[in-house]
Chain A
Amino acid sequence: MNQPQVPLYRLAHGRTGDKGNRSNISVIAYRPEFFPVLLEQVTEERVAAIFRHRAPAAIHRYVLPGLGALNFVLDDVLDGGVNDSLNLDTHGKNLVFLLLGLEVSVPSEWEALLAGIK
């Protein structure tokens, strides 16, 4: 069966934090039934592909079942961090939105449950 592809931000929200040259990005399901999709499809491999330009030294995914959330920790992706990066966004505050652009497949009957913006 062909399942529709939708951007992750319709299923989940999150935020970026930084410490030194390390970024952490949470991905939190809007509804409990969405969480298995995150577990299956938002993998370390796919996140590594999204952030390939920043050549992460390591990516680790932590699972928080009680929160319906994932926490990704990406090492050495901030061009040195807040004191060293040449980026305008030295903290990488926006990086969660790169991740939330990931396409995931969902059951077609979920359309009405997904968050607003297409």
Chain B
Amino acid sequence: MADDILAIGCAAGFAGDRIDAAGPVVDTLIARGAPGVLIFEMLAERTLALAQLARRQNPEGGFAPLMEPALRPILKRCVEHGIRIVSNFGSANPRAAANRIHQIAREQAIPKVRVAVVEGDDLSDARGREILHAYLDPAYASRELVSANVYLGAGAIAEALQGGAQVVVTGRVADPSLVVGPATAHFGWSETDWDRLGRATMAGHLLECGAQVTGGYFADPGLKDVPDLATVGYPIAEITADGAFVIAKAEPTGGVVDSRTVKEQLLYEVHDPAAYLTPDVVADISQAEVHEIGRDRVAVSGVRGHPRPDTLKTTVCFSGGWLGEGEISYAGPNAEARARLAADIVRQRVGDALLLRFDLIGVLSVFGDDRNRMLSDVAPGDARDVRLRVAAADPDRAKVERVLGEVMALFTCGPAGGGGVRTAVTPRLGSTSCYVPRELIHPTFTMME
């Protein structure tokens, strides 16, 4: 029917997002009265590798640490009002996440919650490694594997919802599939409804970074002012049976949804606008338009879809050696010259054995490149509050620590007034990706209890 609308709200755009975001989204979905779904996107590329490491430490760990604090305030209301929850917060251990959700439900005296887990993305087991052996660049064969996960699509999510799941917990799925799955299940689309899938994919794309479409990652005082950014509301997509959608937000909250916020997020992390590749569809926004149809309401039209790729992207993470960072501050007259001298001393002491990145915080510390080409082009000036940052990475921790030792020694051996030395060594992860034939991957869902 034409006026059948599925409302999907997003309450997290990354693993470290605000845990109080969901409340107003859930309230708004309840007030609408329409069928509602709540999604949390909590799984960046790197996050999954960290989750695998956490699972090795604790077999009951390895899911998103913020899942529990994010769910506790809203799980009961969602269940009572028939709002389904779909999230990749299962990370490296969807079953443990599902167990924890059951535990929360018991504690909150919520009657039996049907929680489904979606699996099949993890290629770090023996069978998965056979697949990687065939499709991953052999140059990586000797590296120590931390995680390998294929991006699953919407299929198993939709099946789990059609099977009656109230909460669907996944590991790695394409972020927009968190929206395509519920829309497919609700409207009964086929997996070759390319235009509908393309539109729902872009609705998911707009939602999956949370507040980035409602004024976050956008506000720029005097140029792009946003009201009440401290209480920015998270987005809600209203999707119709043909996949057309409107982006709105939770109320009452701060933030803004207008043509500018939607255009920026529509192109975020997009390469060829005619070919946004996902496991479900190749979405095409080359002819897209946006229309402000009300306060904080924007409709997106002109989105199309083309047949999905035959291969699925797989992200592989490896142990990646060590990152060392050391900092020291100089202030007052001639501060920049002293900071530059300090950098020269560290360079001279370490020699050419290691690539060193130098930043002069207060002069140039963000736009510069790791080869220091841009810094070399910046003529010495008279900045009077400068913090030198030295960064280096190497598989050998001792080499990295030696660099930090040279920064530390500037305290007594360096230019005048160096203060506030901080040094840190952190383990790194390396990553690459490969593409595996779709037919080798078998996504499944399992209802827990």
| Chain A residues at the B interface, C-beta cutoff of 8 Å | 9, 13-15, 17-20, 22, 24, 26, 28, 30, 53-54, 62, 64, 66-67, 69, 71, 73, 79, 81-89, 94-95, 98, 115-117
Cross-chain contact of A66 among B222, B288, B365, B373 (Cβ < 8 A): B288
- What chain B residues lie within 8 Å of A24 (beta carbons)? 267-271
Nearest CB of chain B from residue A7's CB, rounded to whole Å: 11
Residues of B within 8 A of A71 (CB): 267, 270-271, 273
Known pairs A19-B269, A53-B374, A66-B302. 16 more at Cβ < 8 A? A13-B264, A15-B264, A19-B271, A24-B271, A28-B267, A53-B377, A64-B273, A67-B288, A71-B267, A82-B46, A83-B46, A83-B320, A83-B428, A84-B393, A84-B430, A87-B357
Query: Given B271, B317, B373, which contacts A22 in the complex, CB threshold below 8 Å?
Result: B271
> Is there an interface contact between B369 and A53, defined as CB atoms closer than 8 Å?
yes
- Taking a contact as CB atoms under 8 Å apart, the answer to whether A88 and B431 are in contact is no
Cβ of B63 within 8 Å of any chain A Cβ, yes or no, is no
Q: Which of B220-268 contact A (CB under 8 A)?
A: 220, 222-224, 260, 263-268
Q: How far is B188's CA from A89's CA once the two chains are assembled, in angstroms?
A: 43
Residue among B223, B224, B288, B317 with the most chain A CB within 10 A? B223
CA distance A18 to B45 in the complex (A): 11
Q: Per a CB cutoff under 8 Å, which of A22, A26, A83 touches B268?
A: A26
Inter-chain residue pair count (beta carbon < 8 A):
115
CA distance A64 to B184 in the complex (A): 28
On whether the beta carbons of A17 and B217 are closer than 8 Å, the reply is no
A22 to chain B, nearest CB (A): 7
B161 adjacent to chain A (CB < 8 Å) = no
Which of A53, A73, A82, A95 gathers the greatest number of chain B CB atoms within 10 Å? A53
The answer to whether B260 touches A28, judged by C-beta atoms less than 8 angstroms apart, is: yes
CB-CB contacts below 8 Å: B65-101 with A: none
For the complex, what is the distance from the CA of A84 to the CA of B374, rounded to whole Å? 19
B169-183 to A contact mask, C-beta < 8 Å, 1/0: 000000000000000
B366 in the interface, Cβ–Cβ < 8 Å? Answer: yes
Contacts of A83 in B (CB 8 A): 46, 317, 320, 428-431
What are 8 inter-chain pairs, A to B, with CB distance below 8 A? Answer: A19-B269, A53-B369, A53-B371, A67-B290, A79-B369, A79-B370, A83-B320, A86-B391
Q: Which residues of B contact A17 (CB under 8 A)?
A: 267-270
A13 & B223 in contact (Cβ 8 Å cutoff): yes
Interface status of B307 (Cβ within 8 A of chain A): no
Cβ-closest chain A residue relative to B271: A73
User: B286 contacts which chain A residues (CB < 8 A)?
Assistant: 62, 64
Give residues 169-209 of B contacting A (CB, 8 Å).
Answer: none
Q: In the complex, how many angstroms separate the beta carbon of A49 from the nearest chain B beta carbon?
A: 12
Question: How far, in angstroms, from A13 to B263 measured CA to CA in the complex?
Answer: 10
Q: Whole-angstrom distance from the CB of B342 to the nearest CB of chain A?
A: 17
Asked whether B162 is an interface residue with its Cβ less than 8 Å from the other chain, the reply is: no
CB contact under 8 A between A64 and B369, given known A53-B374, A82-B46, A117-B223: no
Residues of chain A lying within 8 A (CB to CB) of residue B320: 83-84
Q: Looking at the complex, which one of A15, A19, A54, A88 makes contact with B369 (CB distance below 8 Å)?
A: A54
B368 is an interface residue with CB less than 8 A from chain A: yes
- For chain B residues 356-374, which have a beta carbon within 8 Å of chain A? 357, 359, 365-371, 373-374
In the bound complex, CA of A6 to CA of B374 (Å): 23
Residue of A nearest to B290 (CB): A67
Tell me if B272 is interfacial: C-beta within 8 Å of chain A: yes
Whether the pair A86, B357 counts as a contact (CB closer than 8 A) is yes
Q: How far is the CA of A15 from the CA of B267 in the complex (A)?
A: 8
A25: nearest chain-B partner, CB-CB: B267
State the 5 A-B residue pairs at the shortest beta-carbon distance, nearest first: A17-B269, A26-B267, A86-B357, A53-B374, A86-B391
CB within 8 Å for A67 and B268 given contacts A62-B273, A79-B370, A89-B366: no
Query: Contact: B266 with A67, CB < 8 Å?
Result: yes
Q: CB distance A18 to B263 under 8 Å?
A: no
Mask: chain B, 269-309; 1 = CB below 8 Å from A; 0 = not: 11111000000000001111110000000000010000000
Closest to A26 in B: B267
In Å, the complex CA distance between A87 and B287 comes to: 36
Q: Is B369 in contact with A26, judged by CB distance below 8 angstroms?
A: no
Asked if B368 and A87 sit within 8 Å, CB to CB, the answer is: yes
Q: A15-B268, A18-B269, A24-B267 are in contact. Are A64 and B323 (CB under 8 A)?
A: no
A113 to B251, CA, bound (A): 32
Assembled-state Cα–Cα distance A107/B117 (Å)? 59
Instruction: Give min CB distance, B279 to chain A, whole Å.
Output: 16
Residue of A14, A20, A22, A98 near B367 (CB, 8 A) is A98
Q: How far is the CB of B390 from chain A (nearest CB, A)?
A: 9
Q: Does B218 have its Cβ within 8 Å of any Cβ on chain A?
A: yes
Contacts of A22 in B (CB 8 A): 271
The minimal Cβ–Cβ distance linking A113 to chain B, given in whole angstroms, is 14
- The verdict on B386 contacting chain A, using a C-beta distance below 8 Å, is no
Specify which of B268, B371, B377, B433 is in contact with A20 (CB 8 Å cutoff). Answer: B433
Task: Report A-chain residues with C-beta under 8 Å of the C-beta of B366.
Answer: 87-89, 94
